[in-house]
Amino acid sequence: MRPFVALAACLAAAGLAASGAPAPDPCEEAKRSNGWCEAAHAGYVAGVEVRSSFLFEVLDTDGHGIIPAEVKCETCRKALLSDGYCPIHRMGYAHGEAFMSALTWHLARARVVSPSTLTCRACRRHTRGIGWCDRDHVGIAGYFAVDDRREFEELAKEYDLLLAAIEKSASCEICAGAMITNGYCRIHRLTWRDGSPVDAARQE
């Protein structure tokens, strides 16, 4: 009977090992693609969880197909050719598609990295947030890497705006969306610019 006892013990040990292994992250793909995760009822942008579906829609992580001949703005036409950004319309272009927020435009231009393939500790740490690695000359936000320092600084600024908008969404989703778009909250009658409310007296 001993062989059977030994086999049972091995199977039990294997079961314990399997149960102790971390379960796959159901939102892994959403984090890699700036997508929505049904399992968490949340979206992810640069690895940051966005629980407000309204704010996630405003962030507009999906590119939009465009018809170049119908683009009238000269700045937009030039940006379309260079994967650039039009500050007039707050619209960026990458890979022939239009992105409606500066943050998602930066992310569309970035390259995707996998934490498991990174040998640099600092770079791996940045995949859990954001940061620049002086050793490897690369900036990382979540699963997205940018090699140009100036572009990374612009990305970091938009990343901070994202965090502020997420915090604001807990009290007012409309204000949070307006922070991203330089828009207007009809509930609080506030116009937002660069992440801050504009004083009504200054608008007159």
Band of pLDDT at residue 59, cut at 50, 70 and 90: very high
pLDDT of residue 204: 42
For residue range 23-47, what is the model confidence (pLDDT) as tens digits?
Answer: 788 999 999 999 999 999 999 999 9
Q: What is the pTM of this model?
A: 0.83
Q: How far is CA 124 from the centre of its chain?
A: 17
pLDDT at 9 over 60: no
Band of pLDDT at residue 152, cut at 50, 70 and 90: very high
pLDDT at 147 over 90: yes
pLDDT of residue 63: 87
pLDDT of residue 17: 44
% of the chain residues with pLDDT over 90 = 76
pLDDT of residue 122: 96
Contact criterion met (CB below 8 Å) for 120 and 127: no
pLDDT of residue 90: 87
For residue range 62-87, what is the model confidence (pLDDT) as tens digits?
Answer: 889 989 999 999 999 999 999 999 99
Band of pLDDT at residue 20, cut at 50, 70 and 90: low
Mean pLDDT, the chain, whole residue set = 88
Q: For residues 107 and 102, what is the distance between their CA atoms, to the nearest angstrom?
A: 9
pLDDT of residue 104: 94
Average pLDDT over residues 49-56: 97
Q: For residues 49 and 42, what is the distance between their CA atoms, to the nearest angstrom?
A: 6
* Strands annotated E in the chain: 36-37, 42-45, 48-50, 64-65, 85-86, 91-94, 97-99, 111-112, 130-133, 138-141, 144-146, 184-185, 190-193, 196-197
Question: CB neighbours of 194 closer than 8 A, spacing ≥ 6?
Answer: 161, 182
Q: Which residue has the higher pLDDT, 129 or 24?
A: 129
**Pairing between β-strand 130-133 and β-strand 138-141 as defined by DSSP bridges:** antiparallel
For residue range 165-194, what is the model confidence (pLDDT) as tens digits?
Answer: 999 999 999 999 999 999 999 999 999 999
Task: Delimit the domains of the chain by residue range.
Answer: 63-100
Cβ atoms < 10 Å from Cβ of 3: 7
